[in-house]
Structure 1
Amino acid sequence: MAPSVLIVCLGNICRSPIGEAVLKHVASERGVEITVDSAGTAGYHVGEEPDERAVATCRKFGVPISHAARKVHPDDFHRFTYILAADESNLRNLQRIQPKNSTASLKLWGSLVDGRAIEDPYYGDMDGFESTFNQCVKLSHAFLDEVLGEFDTKTSL
């Protein structure tokens, strides 16, 4: 069964939709079957498309992006294999609402590389969005390396 991933930031219009688009793209390039979605811990932008700068950045690098913002739902902790938080604040919010019988593996996405949070580019310029994009590329490869390693270990037992 293909793993499923939920990438989470605060409003689900910048970091997490970029992360979703990039992870889908990198997985496709690597021939990895995976389900990816994104959400926010706050409902400020529910139903909205990603920030226009997030869309422009993804298009600049040839990565398709299409998403309507949504808020994390308790069912997500059962629907997804992995839930990856963009930063410590959102990780704490996720831990606070995580059901006791959750089956998802919850972690800071940056913990897979350097422990750095994905900084929110919303109040900055295009450079911030490109930095977020590039960080998501590195994190996507690191995540897929980890998942493929786990899968290889499980299948060889």
Structure 2
Amino acid sequence: MLSSESEPQIKALVVCLGNICRSPMGEAVLKDIATKRGVQVHVDSCGTAGYHVGEEPDERYNNVSIDSLARQISTSDFVRFTHILAADENNLRHLESMKPHNATAEVRLWGSYHDNKAIPDPYYGGMNGFEKVFQQCIRLSHAFLDEVVGKAEAKEV
């Protein structure tokens, strides 16, 4: 199902608060799942707050390789990406409040593609919390791709 086009049609931005735990893990997992499924997707991540801009992801990750530095969302992201995936309701509300009038991205709770559950922040917990978030990101990645790729294929017919 790899597209012959050089630019992926699906461009997803995973968003949490500080961009050092949930969103970089979500970015890495979504990229990995898409690659394994043969789906061409551009994926990035960011935070709604600028607390950790320029920092590497939390070192407690051990299940996935993450190659990104924390950044804060900008209004241009609302037109650069097709889908903005919020980790939880607080970040979703923040995204909706800053969404510019010319936004083209679909902004949703990432969990809305699967079970409507927020991704809990593992920052203040132990390794068990990171493992749970990792498993949740796998489920959400599959659910997101199932819905979005299905819609893209239907448009092509």
Where on the TM-score scale, by shorter chain, does this alignment land: which range?
over 0.9
Q: Hey, what does 1:11 align to over in structure 2?
A: 18
User: Aligned-residue CA RMSD in angstroms?
Assistant: 0.8
Tell me by how many angstroms 1:64 deviates: 2.2
Q: Hey, what does 1:27 align to over in structure 2?
A: 34
3-state DSSP of counterpart to 2:84: strand
Distance across 1 between alignment mates of 2:106 and 2:117: 19
3-state DSSP of counterpart to 2:125: coil
| AA in 2 matched with 1:142 | A
* Corresponding position: 1:141 with 2:142: yes
Distance across 2 between alignment mates of 1:35 and 1:94: 20
3-state DSSP of counterpart to 1:46: coil
Deviation above 2 Å: which 4+ runs of structure 1?
none
3-state DSSP of counterpart to 1:140: helix
Distance across 2 between alignment mates of 1:101 and 1:46: 26
Q: Hey, what does 1:38 align to over in structure 2?
A: 45
3-state DSSP of counterpart to 1:106: strand
Identity of aligned residues (%): 61
Distance across 2 between alignment mates of 1:152 and 1:102: 23
3-state DSSP of counterpart to 2:146: helix
Unaligned runs of at least 5 residues, structure 2: 1-6
Q: Hey, what does 1:105 align to over in structure 2?
A: 106
Compute the TM-score of the two structures, normalised by the length of structure 2: 0.94
